[in-house]
Structure 1
Amino acid sequence: MSQIEELVERLCPDGVTHVSLGNVVAYSTTTIDASELTETTFVGVDNLLPNKAGKTTARHGPNTARVTQFQEGDVLLGNIRPYLRKIWLADHSGGCSGDVLCIRIHDTSEISPGFLFQVLGSESFFRFFTKHSRGAKMPRGDKKEVLKYVLPVPPLEVQHEIVKILDTFTDLEAELEAELEARRAQYEYYRDQLLSFNETPPQIRWVTLNDTGIFYSGLTGKTKSDFDRGESLFIPYMNVFQNPTTDLTDTRHVSIGPDERQNRVQHGDILFTLSSENLNECATSSVIRGQPEANLFLNSFCFGLRPSHTDGLDLPYLSHVFRSRAFRKEIPKAAAGVTRFNVSRTRFGKLMIPIPPLDRQRAIGRTLDSFDTLVNGLTSGLPAELNARRQQYEYYRDKLLTFKELKS
């Protein structure tokens, strides 16, 4: 019998109490002056970590006089799609943006911060959170409904043992991620070297994006009831944001009427995120290098560029150009905003990219694809091992958080 099984058998053999989240936590209602925050104490929704343990990588960027205050031990949740699965257990105090829920435990002798973090990162809570999100364009979690989520509260000793076991998985993840980050830095170095062109025409042509093709918008006129049903599919925001090459298996259902005028995506299209809370993450690109389904569309918060002369452009090359440091430096010229930054397609279309001869494009694309596979490939090497560890962690997390309910 394992340590956790022995503890359960000894401390709660008949089951554990299940309570609504609102019985053990509350939202932070205190605020802090934004001028008091630094790069490490301000947390925006873009800067929350994905669903795993660790520290924030927050950058300072509050746009209002006062923001919600958090303290060590609070759990911070992204509260706007597509960030509903971002979560962080605060290891210091600070302030967070309005797109972040700050959840504070009433009594840490009843429920530990580490245990609550694991519960709110579970698949069960994510499904509940998503189900109770409200809004058509950028759904947010319904704060009152979120507090109705029912969770088990085992004895504190059991909670600590569960956290200890799961921390073992996340520590291993952290080691693998550190090594993977080193590889990413190497890839980015060689990418930027290969894409730094000092030649003058005619060896290299510099063209505006307007000269390469036509821009189009994502889905328009959709309401929440149109999503998660219907025969059509759309590419979600995070697919574009995370993948230099669009993952054509990562799609969601949407209902589209026969008379609706919506833009289908095609092979060769280049997709861009339309807005972000962080200026540096606007217009993040993803290239459709495969053959998409005939009924595949783009989400409402991205836009597309369809090249007009694909015979002179290499898609692998373009997928790296639009993520290069040189091109990313140009994005602030095309985006503006206050609480969120939005890309102006008019200004964006005036940005320029280098177009070397096609054979050179292909050579650069092949070289950088090889690096990219080492860094991002999910079927071999470190990425595959990291993915396996995450799946193992998620399996044991959900298993360890399942308890028989104590009957009164």
Structure 2
Amino acid sequence: MSVIDDLIAEFAPNGIEYKFLGEIGTFTRGNGLQKKDLTDVGVPAIHYGQIHTHYGTWTAESISFVTPEFARGMRKAQPGDLVIATTSEDDNAVAKAVAWLGDEDAAVSGDAYIFRHSMDPKFVAYFFESERFQAQKTVGITGTKVRRISGTGLARVRIPAPALDIQQEIVRVLDSFAELEAELEAELEAELEARKAQYAQYRERLLTFPDDGDARWTTLGDVGEFIRGRRFTKDDYVESGLGCIHYGQIYTDYGTSATSTVAFLNPAMSASLRLAKKGDLVIAATGENVEDVCKAVAWLSDDEVAVHDDCQIFRHTLDPRYASYFFQSASFQEQKVKFASESKVVRISGANLAKIKIQVPPREEQERVVGILDKFDALIADIAVGLPAEIAGRRKQYEYYRDRLLSFEEAVP
């Protein structure tokens, strides 16, 4: 901060002038670029949706292109311009911006503005992330389901306009902060992945038994039966009643086992449904890819639960959590591949699941293995919960310093 303080003392001893964005630049709306127009090579192109999903504060490379012929009719961002996504369903995401720092012009889609200005481009892009900008932009946001802001609304936002040397020093500091934050996030995520890999290795060892031991090889069909669930839709949900498990929720809301559901149905529907009992496995038999299909959750509540028709209920004689852990194992994953039918979605039938081979040790050994794996599972869950909290805390710290660096005493005319 001392370098910035020294620069302010030299160039702006009486405070920093604030200007309207409309005073320092112009807003030009992009035009006519749809996702179907994008190519893998050609003239750089930025679609407004990509600003929300792919770009950070600045970029020197686009992830998409258009043909030179198509680009001739497009409005383009020049190096140093900001490209601003003007629409979103979320007010916080309206006016998310990326500074274009490529070597050539980039075509820009509609629902985005090109801001051509006279300041350091990264300084302006960082300002668009600041609390001061977020507070000012809300006045200009309109719309109901889709929220948007116009160039006129953006032009009314006031920005501190220090000398270029001060802008560049602030950018240097914020770039360093951003790099450190990215490195920390990568380290934390790498640690979680390493722990998951370690856990997976232990799980495989615990679920693998010598052929001459007490564990016997058999098929899932020999130790249980597969029962397909019955149809219900999300429109059938009520606030409380008969617990139900939709196949999609197994991917998003459930772990190895569960004793409660996130959704409910009217109990009067129970006669037309198929219900899982305590100890059953509920298996998502439909998925978007082979890797994910057949994720399973052991149902451990005394209450029965309705199961969706894109699921299989596995009623068996195993320890339920042992069975659920087996469905996560490399042995199961390798075997299921040959039974998956792939089209737009991936499916595996109950008849094919019944053919999958499993090693079944005595019940006491199953329980011993489950006890160990439960502890590993809890450890990984704690890390997975703590990681986002740690990252969020670091981001808050970064945002605090960014907002401080972009806040100046305003010069009095």
Question: If the TM-score is normalised by the length of the shorter chain, which range does it land in?
Answer: 0.5 to 0.7
For residues 362 and 351 of structure 1, do their structure 2 counterparts lie closer, same or farther at Cα, with a shift above 3 Å needed?
A: closer
- Report the alpha carbon displacement of residue 41 of structure 1 after superposing the two structures with TM: 4.5
On the 8 A contact 1:166/1:397 being kept in 2, the answer is yes
How far 1:362 moved relative to its partner? 5.1
Residue 326 of structure 1 pairs with residue 291 of structure 2: yes
Cα distance 1:19–1:6, how it changes in 2: closer, same or farther (>3 A)?
A: same
1:404 paired residue number: 409
Give the counterpart of 2:396 among 368, 385, 391. 391
Aligned partner (choices 51, 71, 75) of residue 82 of structure 2:
75
One-letter identity of the residue aligned with 1:102: Y
**Structure 1 pair 45–13 and aligned structure 2 pair: CA distance change class (3 A):** same
In 2, distance between residues paired with 1:94 and 1:187?
42
Cα deviation, residue 386, structure 1: 3.3
Q: Tell me whether 35-44 or 113-122 shows the greater mean CA deviation.
A: 35-44
Deviation at 1:377, TM superposition (A): 2.6
1:345 maps to none
The RMSD of aligned alpha carbons is 5.3
> What CA deviation, in whole Å up to 9, does each residue of 1:273-317 have, x standing for no partner?
9xxxxxxxxx99456989999xxxxxxxxxxxx9965856779x9
Is structure 2 residue 107 aligned with structure 1 residue 102? Answer: no
Query: Which deviates further from its counterpart, 283-292 or 78-87?
Result: 283-292
Shift of 1:132: 3.2
Choose from 318, 321, 326 the match for 1:359.
Answer: 321
Residues in 2 aligned to 1:56 and 1:312: alpha-carbon distance in whole angstroms: 55
Aligned to 2:181: 173
Aligned pair partner of 1:38 in 29, 40, 44: 40
- 1:3-14, aligned counterparts within 5 Å? 3-14=3-14
Report what 2:158 is aligned to: 150
Partner of 1:255: none
Tell me: CA distance 1:32–1:45, structure 2 relative to 1, closer, same or farther (3 Å). closer
Structure 2 partner of 1:136: 144
Deviation at 1:402, TM superposition (A): 1.3
What is the rounded CA distance, in whole Å, between the counterparts of 2:64 and 2:29 in structure 1? Answer: 20
Decide whether the 8 Å contact of 1:48 with 1:57 is kept in 2: no
- Displacement of 1:116: 0.4
1:155 Cα offset (Å): 1.0
Q: Give the Cα separation in 2 of the matches to 1:356 and 1:68.
A: 62
Tell me if the contact between 1:75 and 1:104 (Cα under 8 Å) persists in the aligned partners: yes
Distance in 1, Cα, partners of 2:121 & 2:49: 20
The answer on whether the counterparts of 1:216 and 1:263 sit within 8 Å (CA) in structure 2 is no
Q: Deviations 1:9-64 (Å, cap 9, x if unpaired)?
A: 111121222222222232354667975642785445256458954659976599xx
Cα offsets for 1:174-217 (capped at 9, x unmatched): 212333454566688899999xxxx7646687777xx3673325
The 5-angstrom pairing of residues 298-313 of structure 1 reads 309=276, 311=278
> Are 2:160 and 1:159 aligned?
no
C-alpha displacement of 1:134? 2.2
Q: Which residue of 1 aligns with 2:99?
A: 89
Q: 1:133 deviation in Å? A: 2.6
Post-superposition CA distance 1:111-161 (Å, at most 9, x none): 110110111011222233345332222222344222211111111111111
The answer to whether the 8 Å contact 2:230/2:309 transfers is no
- Whether the aligned pair in 2 keeps the contact of 1:207 and 1:355 (CA below 8 Å) is yes
TM-score when normalising by structure 1? 0.56
Q: 1:71, 1:96 → 2: CA distance?
A: 10
Q: 2:16·2:408 contact (CA, 8 Å) conserved in 1?
A: yes
Corresponding residue for residue 214 of structure 1? 232
User: For the Cα contact (< 8 Å) 2:94–2:147, is it kept in 1?
Assistant: no
Sort the Cα spacing of 1:48 and 1:310 in 2 relative to 1 into closer, same or farther, 3 A.
farther
2-structure distance, mates of 1:56, 1:362: 47
Kept in 2: contact 1:70–1:94 (CA 8 A): yes
Amino acid aligned to 1:24? I
- Are 1:76 and 1:88, in contact at CA under 8 Å, matched by a contact in 2? yes
Taking only the aligned residue pairs, the percentage that are identical comes to 22
The change in CA–CA distance for 1:22 and 1:43 in structure 2 (over 3 A counts) is: same
Deviation at 1:391, TM superposition (A): 1.5
Tell me the TM-score normalised to structure 2 length. Answer: 0.55
Bigger mean CA offset, 386-395 vs 77-86: 77-86
Structure 1 runs not aligned, ≥5 long:
219-261, 274-282, 294-305, 330-348
| Rounded Cα–Cα distance in structure 2 between residues aligned with 1:351 and 1:58 | 40
Does the residue aligned with 1:162 lie in a helix, a strand or coil? helix
Kindly state the Cα deviation for residue 8 of structure 1 after the two structures are TM-superposed: 1.1
3-state secondary structure, aligned to 2:178: helix
- Residues 354 and 269 of structure 1: is their aligned pair in 2 closer, same or farther, counting only changes over 3 Å? closer
Q: Against the structure 1 CA distance between its residues 46 and 360, is the aligned structure 2 distance closer, same or farther, given a 3 Å change threshold? A: farther
CA contact (8 A) 2:51 2:97 kept: no
Question: Quick check: 1:123 aligned with 2:124?
Answer: no
Correspondence 1:174-189 to 2 at 5 A: 174-182=182-190
CA distance in 2, matches of 1:192, 1:85: 42
Paired with 2:225 and 2:312, the residues of 1 have a C-alpha distance of 8
Task: State the Cα distance separating 1:171 from its structure 2 match.
Answer: 0.6
